[in-house]
A and B are shown apart, each in its own frame.
Chain A
């Protein structure tokens, strides 16, 4: 025995029991914008960015308005705020997208939409509508969408070429303001001068004021008139390879907040010894 399929007729004969009062409906959102409130857009980035804001409002006379703003933000990983003054209304939806157009490929942009009467620093924000990392194809939106904190996600992977130190000087790289790094690998070379000495290369991590909390290094000497390549990376087993290339294990995980540094400390370094610029891979989060 087969079941009897429901016919269109069966559906049509059901009488509606729920009525909608569309003339006196309440707005489907809780974002009321009073006469003294503003919509604030927060942006934290690792390169100058343009954030486009699309919003829909329910006005007091029942009209629904759509508006769009393009806001330019300077490079700053710390929070920057721009104010959008609105009339009294209910916000129906807000979407933010970082649509910066330039040649940079790894722009990281953390954005938020906030309703507040004052500049919405930590103590003033009345209502955070949405927040998260946005790229050219990923909008952050409210009331639907996914909110992300600035660190509860995979960071952006970056390759950086650091500073070439002067002859006889050490490598030193600093985590930028309002950034958090996980150092995955560091690669550089050292060319030693003819001065007779045993050089031993170490990499130290400090808090930016000189307090070293971790260090790692090779267990062999580099003598005069040689060029050795050094690789420091998470996942390497101990120290291998005297010379070209050396592979040294980095402490893992090595999370560094703003202004912390990694730098070489070379036992026996001579005035004419020369390091190449370090090339390093990091995972970066913004800390607005």
Chain B
């Protein structure tokens, strides 16, 4: 389990819930102020998985401004996202062959 900081919203989170199930971070909307209503961040990160028609795994919804790992110098994203990206790359390679 590693701790990450979202570089878009500044939120800090673990990549797993206490039970060991992967956790997907998604930035909160920007609050309303005197000039603007409540709105989504332009650089919003959303780690929820996108599935295309036919069950094709497409990766996470939005990388946004990225993340930094606070507990390891060698990891640059949650491990489960790396596994998903690897599966997407393998599928694309198979389709292009």
* Residues on A facing B (Cβ under 8 Å): 46-48, 74-81, 102-107, 119, 121, 158-167, 169-174, 176-178, 210, 258-259, 261, 263, 265, 269, 277
Contact indicator A102/B20 (Cβ below 8 Å): yes
B6 contacts the other chain (Cβ, under 8 Å)?
Answer: yes
Contacts of A76 in B (CB 8 A): 49, 51, 57, 84
B77 contacts the other chain (Cβ, under 8 Å)?
Answer: no
Contact indicator B48/A176 (Cβ below 8 Å): yes
Beyond the given pairs A75-B49, A172-B27, 10 more chain A to chain B contacts, judged by CB atoms under 8 angstroms and listed by A's residue number, are A47-B21, A104-B21, A160-B17, A160-B23, A161-B17, A161-B18, A161-B23, A165-B9, A177-B61, A265-B31
Contact indicator A169/B11 (Cβ below 8 Å): yes
Q: Once A and B bind, how many residue pairs between them come within 8 Å at the CB atom? A: 121
Contact indicator A169/B57 (Cβ below 8 Å): no
Specify which of A105, A106, A119, A163 is in contact with B6 (CB 8 Å cutoff): A163
By beta carbon, the residue of chain B nearest A173 is B26
Instruction: List 15 interface pairs A-B (beta carbons < 8 Å), by A numbering.
Output: A46-B22, A47-B80, A74-B87, A76-B51, A78-B49, A103-B20, A104-B16, A105-B20, A106-B19, A158-B19, A159-B18, A162-B23, A165-B11, A174-B48, A177-B51
In the bound complex, how far is the Cα of B24 from the Cα of A160, in angstroms? 11
By beta carbon, the residue of chain A nearest B14 is A161
Given the known inter-chain contacts A80-B55, A164-B13, please indicate yes or no for A47 contacting B22, CB distance below 8 A: yes
By beta carbon, the residue of chain B nearest A107 is B21
Given the known inter-chain contacts A78-B49, A80-B55, A119-B54, please indicate yes or no for A162 contacting B22, CB distance below 8 A: no
Given the known inter-chain contacts A75-B49, A161-B17, A174-B24, please indicate yes or no for A166 contacting B54, CB distance below 8 A: no
Contacts of B22 in A (CB 8 A): 46-47, 75
Would you list the 8 A-B pairs with minimal beta carbon distance, nearest first? A166-B10, A104-B20, A172-B28, A78-B51, A163-B11, A174-B26, A163-B13, A106-B19
Contact indicator B20/A74 (Cβ below 8 Å): no
Given the known inter-chain contacts A165-B9, A210-B38, please indicate yes or no for A106 contacting B21, CB distance below 8 A: yes
Query: Distance in Å from the Cβ of B22 to the closest Cβ of chain A?
Result: 6
